[in-house]
Structure 1
Amino acid sequence: MILAGGCQCGRIRYRVEVDELDAYLCHCRMCQRATGGFAAALKQVKRGAITWAREPDRYRSSPIAQRGFCAACGTPLTYEGDGSEGLDLTVGSFDEAGRLTPVEHSGVESIHEAWLHTASLPRSRTDANPRIVQKWKDAGADLPD
């Protein structure tokens, strides 16, 4: 199946052919720092299966890998290990990220357990927050998806 995605501002877009909808969470410190999150949600794909409308900007994040991102909006897009036939796309960059399913935890030496078990926390919708809704209205814009 073909999935599409890209950065927040739309400058960088991709299409990728995948066989499965499996993804994983990487908890290593490099991924935490690169994404600013407690983990990086990633989908491994074959390099030859991805078509970029525009190549991402890249940053050599370690001696063994580089990361693709959008220099305009800052969206993290890839983890690209040197010499690998595949690369990892960030789950959040997929247009239909909810189709992907986590099947594994990686880099667990740096895992933050408290952030994994959040189902019992209170939940709220963005469109139910009057302060945020008003900010969007004042900006003359619609709430994002």
Structure 2
Amino acid sequence: MAEKMTGGCQCGRVRYTATIEDDDAYLCHCRMCQRATGGVSIAFKNVPKEVVRWERQPDRYASSPIAERGFCASCGTPLTYEAHDHDRMDLTVGSFDDPWRFKPTEHSGCESWHRDWLDTSHLPATRTDENPSVVRRWMEKVGKLPA
């Protein structure tokens, strides 16, 4: 069933609403996505361009001859991947206000994936509120932890 979902950048300057039909998402591991995000992969939700409404258009960068990437020039949040000749686009899963519903269904750009980063569930895990140095910094600056 179609559902309207909202999202945007870290600072709130760029916001969007998208009509989402399903929970499918994917991970892209290509070198362009790695360089665009500084990460080993990026999670995307593919949608028709026509179902996305921007409160404020993202800034865009021509990342290759075939596509551009939407981002916020104020805070740097990556928001989209948009092929020039396609009626669909990718929204970054992390930019949704409620990204928890999405489930990865495939990998793309696997020629450059880092297999050691695919399943890290065996590694020790610490919550932000259990990290004394991070808690101290937040408490000293704003008196509370981020929501």
Aligned to 2:83: 81
1:42 to 27, 41, 44: 44
Unaligned runs of 5+ in 1: none
> What is the CA–CA distance in structure 2 between the aligned matches of 1:87 and 1:75, rounded to whole Å?
17
1:123 to 122, 125, 129: 125
| Match status 1:95 vs 2:103 | no
2:30 to 12, 22, 28: 28
Q: Secondary structure at the match of 2:107?
A: strand
Aligned to 2:11: 9
1:60 to 39, 62, 83: 62
Unaligned runs of 5+ in 2: none
- How far residue 84 of structure 1 moved from its aligned partner, in angstroms, is 0.6
What TM-score do you get using the length of structure 1 for normalisation? 0.98
Q: CA RMSD in A?
A: 0.8
> What is the CA–CA distance in structure 2 between the aligned matches of 1:119 and 1:64, rounded to whole Å?
36
* 1:41-92 Cα deviation digits (max 9, x unpaired): 1000111000000000000000000000000000000000011111000011
- How far residue 132 of structure 1 moved from its aligned partner, in angstroms, is 0.6
Q: Secondary structure at the match of 1:44?
A: strand
Letter in 1 for 2:128: T
